Structure 1
Amino acid sequence: MKIVAIDAYTLNHGDLSWEQINTLGDLVLYDRSVDSEVVDRCKDADIVLTNKVAFNDAILQQLPNLKLIAVTATGINIIDIDAARNKGISVCNVPDYGTDSVAQHTFALILELTNRVGLHADSVARGDWQVCKDFSYALSPLIELKDKILGLVGFGSIGKKTAEIAAAFGMRVIYHTPSEKTTDLAEYAELEDLFATSDFISLHLPLKADNKEFVNKALISKMKATAFLINTSRGQLINEQDLADALNSKTIAGAAIDVLSAEPPPVTNPLLTAKNCMITPHNAWMSREARERIMAITFQNIQAYINGATINKVT
């Protein structure tokens, strides 16, 4: 059984062990792979591990031995699911591994927007405090979270964990999903109402064909001028030019995002130079603890497949 990890470094930077997965077959590791290398590297593979390297129909047609794609993440938009199903290739993923890490990062972004700790720490390091005429100063407005409204678009495990953290800050939480859910953590709101009333809007939903760039000029225009947008889900959920325009015109107060439509981003991405837009490099999921869970669940997925009882199966 040949197992190929096509972008191994994404999951394991050298601080984790592949030993357990290696017991399941002949494991071949490639730290990084570009599209032109995928077919050659996977042509004899029975099982492929991928985090962000895409497998479309054209690639799958050239991999006759492939039986299982183990996605080392939750999102499966990198896989042509219909093509895999037609070729009899099973696909599995890793759900819920990063719930706590991503919710924590969401609030790290919110707190940076409200307290600007990094901005002020850098100011002190430059010597600004030593020459200040006053005993304290602020370079931007400092915002208290208590009684502010947090609007969550998507209310799965990460959304619910984010709501729990918000409650500790004394925030009021509202949420939107296609259908209302029974919960004591938040109040249901229609999407446009959520955008119109929230002080902070945080996206927590998977990318699908029907929600690409749903956060666009029309929806952003409903936000308060004092409101902030946070995205730790998928960059393609936002029309980036529309968001940049809103930030540059001060239609909204700011944004903090961990994901972009193309990663790494081209220098032409409008959000890179937008006003009051903080961007982290898609690392909300990347805590050691979360990656350890991915490794463990991926091992279980592959082991179950070999034993004829696939778990976390997508197709």
Structure 2
Amino acid sequence: MSHKIVFLDRETLDANLRKPNFPHDYVEYAQSAPTDVVERLKGATIAITNKVPLREETLKQLPDLKLIAVAATGTDVIDKAYTTANGITVSNIRNYAFNTLPEHVIALIFALRRNLVNYVDSVRRGRWQEANQFCYFDYPIYDISGSTLGIIGYGALGKSIATRAEALGMKMLINDVVPGPNIVDIPTILREADVVTLNLPLTPQTKNLIGAKELASMKKTAILINTARGGIVDEQALADALRGGVIAGAGFDVLTVEPPKQGNILLDPTIPNLIVTPHVAWASKEAMQVLADQLVDNIDAFVAGAPRNLVTA
């Protein structure tokens, strides 16, 4: 059997993509609007998508589709209830960002705990030239060593973050869906941690997991990091908390809508002590190549009759 493979948003992956090991026709599009999807996937047996949604109204028009190979870990763009009920296999990418995302989290911790952005901006504005001594202390600087890191979501990435944080002398508080002897509840983490990092998927249960009440329970000197998914934190509540000095800072690599073409409250440059990066924590050159190789491995395994990295409802 010859397969037709269609990659709907190839532009999202800056890596070499090798050919699968079976007869196939391959078509790729740099990006695909929702209105393009049905036409582009007609006759396709394998669809590759990173962020292009595939919902029931689309999938029911694609009777030939056998596999959706998601070029990412998160699968919230897929209607998994429909795929499971209708025999469409879904695979995803796992354990590929084991260096890049934890390094991004650590970089945000350094930048925020040491107030690097505020100091760099103040120097550019001429503040140093105006100082009465060799330095100035307009923004508080806190040590990382000896501080407490709260990790909410202790999968492969959470564990990798913990390894790096321990090397820096940080103490750990861990929360995860899997029970264990060292697991603490989320309220305890929020109350006691100096840094909280979120590393869990967006689900109905985790949507707005961190809102105004949760932010108010944190230390005023604490910082919040989200490299997981937009929507886990109530963005309005976070903006209000930063403006009101409820917490000391935040570093976000994700927003509720990406790209934020209609704007987003967290893009307001007047919000203090907020660093927003454009969903690139995962995107080192090395990690993207690991992702691309695993993506083709998933497709090869499916066609060989031994599907892997399966995702169900």
Alignment TM class, shorter chain as reference: over 0.9
Residue 308 of structure 2: SS of its match in structure 1?
Answer: coil
* Deviates most, 119-128 or 155-164: 119-128
Counterpart position of 2:257: 262
In structure 1, runs of 5+ residues without a counterpart are none
Task: State how far apart, in whole Å, the 1-side matches of 2:247 and 2:266 are.
Answer: 14
SS at match of 1:188: coil
1:281 aligns with 2:278: yes
How far is the alpha carbon of 1:88 from its aligned partner? 1.4
Sort the Cα spacing of 1:249 and 1:116 in 2 relative to 1 into closer, same or farther, 3 A. closer
What is the match of residue 91 of structure 2?
A: 92
Bigger relative contact order (CA 8 A; separation at least 6): 2
Q: Is 2:67 the partner of 1:72?
A: no
Structure 1 position 284, deviation (Å): 0.2
- Whether 1:299 and 2:283 are equivalent positions in the alignment is no
Alpha-carbon shift at residue 178 of structure 1 (Å): 3.0
Q: Which residue identity is paired with 1:11?
A: L
Distance 1:32 1:168, change over 3 A: same
Give the CA deviation at 1:115: 2.1
1:223 aligns with 2:222: no
**Mean alpha-carbon deviation: is it higher for 253-262 or for 23-32?**
23-32
How far off its partner does 1:216 sit? 1.0
Residues 128-174 of structure 1 show CA distances to partners (whole Å, capped at 9, x for unaligned) of 54665433334422111111111110101111111111111111110
Q: Distance in 2 between matches of 1:17 and 1:26?
A: 18
Q: Is 2:244 aligned against 1:242?
A: no
2:91/2:311 contact within 8 Å kept: yes
In 2, the alpha carbon distance for the partners of 1:221 and 1:22 equals 54
1:271 aligns with 2:270: no
Aligned match of 2:246: 251
Task: Write the mapping of 1:1-315 to structure 2, written as runs, cut at 5 A.
Answer: 1-12=3-14, 16-21=15-20, 25-124=24-123, 129=128, 132-181=131-180, 187-273=182-268, 274-315=271-312
Partner AA of 1:242 in structure 2: A
Provide the aligned C-alpha RMSD in A. 1.9
Counterpart secondary structure, 1:220: helix
**What letter is aligned with 1:5?**
F
* Unmatched segments (≥5 aa) in structure 2: none
Task: Tell me: CA distance 1:82–1:140, structure 2 relative to 1, closer, same or farther (3 Å).
Answer: same
Question: Structure 2: how far apart are the matches of 1:21 and 1:278?
Answer: 40
Q: Is the 8 A contact 1:21 1:27 kept in 2?
A: no
Change (3 A) 1:93 1:54: same
What amino acid is aligned across from residue 294 of structure 1 in structure 2? L
* 1:98-126 CA distance string (max 9 Å, x none): 12111110111111102233444455556
Q: Normalization by structure 1: what TM-score?
A: 0.92
Alpha-carbon offset, residue 314 of structure 1: 1.4
Q: Is the 8 A contact 1:24 1:303 kept in 2?
A: no
Q: Is residue 118–residue 273 contact of structure 2 (8 Å, CA) maintained in 1? A: no
Q: How many residues align?
A: 308
Alpha-carbon distance in 1 for matches of 2:161, 2:37: 37
Secondary structure of 2:214's aligned partner:
helix
Report if aligned partners of 2:12, 2:50 keep a CA contact under 8 Å in 1: yes
Matched to 1:44, the amino acid is: G
Q: Contact conserved, 2:151 with 2:199, CA < 8 A, in 1?
A: yes
